[in-house]
Amino acid sequence: MLDLRQYASLGAALKDALERWPNETCLIEADRDREKARLTYSDFRELARPLCRALEDADFKAGDRAAIIMTNQSKWLISAYSIFFCGGVLVPLDYKLSAVEHLQLLAHSKARFLVVEYYLWRAITQSPEFSKLTVEIVLVTEAPAGADLRGAYRWEEFKRKGEPQFATRQRADTACIVYSSGTGGRPKGCVLTHDSYLEQCASLTAWYPFWPGVRYLSILPTNHAIDFMVGFVGPFVCGACVVHLRTLRPEFVRDAFVRYRITYVSLVPMVLKNLERGLRAKFAELKPAKRMILDRLIGLNKMLTRARPHVEFSRRLLPQVHRAFGGELRALIVGGAFTEPSTLQFFYDLGIPVTCGYGLTEACTAVTLNDLKPFRADTVGKPLPGTEVRLLNPDGDGIGEVAVRSRAVMSHYLDDPEQTAQTIVEGWLLTGDQGRFDVDGRGHLQLVGRKKNMIVTEGGKNIYPEDIEAVFDGLPVKEFCMFAANYLWPQKTLGNEMLVLVLRLEQNQQFDDKLREEMVERNRRLADFKRVGGYLVWEKDFPRTASLKIKRGELAAEIGVDAARAGVVGI
């Protein structure tokens, strides 16, 4: 791989990677069972060159911001590389957000340019808020012939001849602005520098190296912090290949493992759980004699790999299982949310190592990772090289708030010094997560709960209750407030997290079927993973500041008693 210590920016490292491995395949784009594109590093460079030149002609300068809203595909990576080549700041937005949320984040980020997939651009142009679009130039991919692009350019036609001029950047310069939540409340744009990404990439590849011939399966969105690092930057600076799969349907994911002989893949717990269910169903279909043999082989593998994985041995012992994953899989990487230890252990016992990690957008990607020396299903691993983790104000059980210090930590929240000052204190990132170090002296971190008013879904989505409240605005009650149940009643546990709607009724108002039906109808407007799980009728007025804002912390302290929890009713 490239020696990242020699580079001042992501653009410089990626540029050298394209020149160092011209004939290696860098990207395969697959849509279900069809392969749509296969690019060498040289092909990639030739596709990016005219876009870089066109951006120059459009007066895109070093430090300018450009957003991308797209599903996984080659044009996402080519556009990102071109932005870095020209010295720009990348703003990767989640394509699953609504058009209104996209417009709000584009305005907040002050992006000058936008690269967007056609169906997403069409939704944005049809939004009542479209007149508030702030970007100057829009490039639309995959637009049908004759489509009205409302002043945008076709990505495929936005090109110029000639050799573009590479724009140098320094490590302290901003590389990306990444949003860690939606927009119903307070946008949180994490400002991450080139130094953050280069240091994080060096740390990750020190434990899990890539090289030419490695094939990484990319099924998480590229805008996701994990896939941006492990499915773009990491493979490219090592000469490896990224396989983009534009579907999450289990049968096509399984087919991709075999077809492309995948080496690594990153998953969120929800996808990993689906794979587990599929395997368990296959095992259940075996005849008793074959199932008995399988169970004995799994038991033997478990015994012989207790201390550390021996993938080659496990492949020989359980060949059919490993062939189902392509026969060359070295590890599944899982993160983004709580993962049940039993699921991690299930795969490890089959000889398929699962490295579980813990990270935050504010820390670039990962803070801790299991190095499999030994495998631990009950922890999120050890701090990465160059990362310090400490626990603040630990209690009698050694549980405290996880604080992180490393060069990978963001510099600040965009245009929000108040939130920055609350989150980064004396150089330490306060995560709001609670944990403890294991007692065996190996330095593994165990997460046990959350201190902050937030939940994390199985799909790795951060849900801030404040962002959900807009959907319930105008509810016919005196006042309401949204909380994460674990924030009100700390359980020192993760998983099955839930949002609770706290209601204060008007004087003499009764909670009736009409009010309940309206709550249910509003809840249905939300995506499944954002829906409120229960409600609580509170008998006192909410405490407020002089400017009439709800004092969330004070209200949470009042509600956070066992008797109040008993009053929660499911929606």
Give which of 455, 368, 445, 503 is closest to 181, Cα–Cα. Answer: 455
Q: Find residue 243's DSSP bridge partners.
A: 28, 217
Residues 6+ apart with CB under 8 A from 521: none
- The CATH architecture annotation of domain 464-570 reads 2-Layer Sandwich (3.30)
Does 279 score more than 80 pLDDT?
yes
What pLDDT does 563 receive?
Answer: 63
At 27-45, the pLDDT tens digits run: 999 988 889 999 999 999 9
Q: Is the pLDDT of residue 545 over 80?
A: no
Q: 266-283 b/e with 16+ CB inside 10 Å = b?
A: bbbbbbbbbbbeebeeee
Distances (CA, A) of 37 to 29, 31, 34, 86, 110: 5, 10, 9, 25, 33
Max CA distance (Å), the chain: 76
Instruction: Give the pLDDT of residue 207.
Output: 94
- Asked if the model's pLDDT at residue 383 lies above 90, the reply is yes
Which pLDDT tens digit goes with each residue over 107-158? 999 999 999 999 999 999 999 999 999 999 999 999 999 999 999 999 999 9
Residue 341, preceding bond cis, omega within 30 degrees?
Answer: no
- CATH code at 7-260: 3.40.50.980
Distance CA(535)–CA(501), nearest Å, equals 4
Name beta bridge partners: 28: 38, 243
pLDDT classification of 547: cutoffs 50, 70, 90 = low
Would you give the DSSP letter of residue 233? I
Sign of the alpha-carbon dihedral angle for 209, 265, 354, 213? negative
What value does the mean pLDDT take over residues 543-547?
75
For the residues of 336-397, what is the DSSP string, one character each?
SS---HHHHHHHHHTT--EEEEE--GGGSS-SEE---TT--TTS--EEPTT-EEEEES--TT
pLDDT, tens digit, 9 for 90 and up, residues 189-204: 999 999 999 999 999 9
Per-residue confidence at 448, pLDDT binned at 50, 70, 90?
confident
Residue 421 burial (CB < 10 Å; 0-12/13-18/19+)?
A: exposed
Whether the predicted pLDDT of 183 surpasses 60 = no
Q: Average pLDDT in the 338-356 region?
A: 92
**Residues sharing a CB contact under 8 Å with residue 55, sequence separation 6 or more, in sequence order:** 82, 83, 86, 88, 113, 164
Q: Which helix (H) or strand (E) holds 27?
A: strand 25-31
Tokens representing 403 are 């604080």
184 against 420, higher pLDDT: 420
**Matching fold, domains 7-260 and 268-450:** yes
Determine the topology of domain 268-450 in CATH: Rossmann fold (3.40.50)
Distance of alpha carbon 13 from alpha carbon 5, whole angstroms: 10
The radius of gyration of the chain from alpha carbons, rounded to an integer in Å, stands at 25
Q: How many residues does the chain have?
A: 571
Predicted local distance difference test score (pLDDT) of residue 180:
78
DSSP states of 296-318: HHHHHHHHHTSSS--HHHHHHHS
Q: What is the pLDDT of residue 474?
A: 84
Q: Is 113 helix (H, G, I), strand (E, B) or coil?
A: strand
Can you give the residue ranges of every domain in the chain? 7-260, 268-450, 464-570
Check if the beta carbon of residue 539 is closer than 8 Å to that of residue 502: no
Give me the mean pLDDT over the 263-282 stretch.
90
Distance CA 353, CA 345 (A): 9
Mean pLDDT to the nearest integer, 1-12: 97
pLDDT digits (tens, 9 = 90+) for 42-71: 999 999 999 999 999 999 999 999 999 999
Q: Is residue 236's pLDDT more than 60? A: yes
Q: What is the mean pLDDT of residues 364-371?
A: 94
Residue found under tokens 């459009």: 58
CB 97 within 8 A of CB 119: no
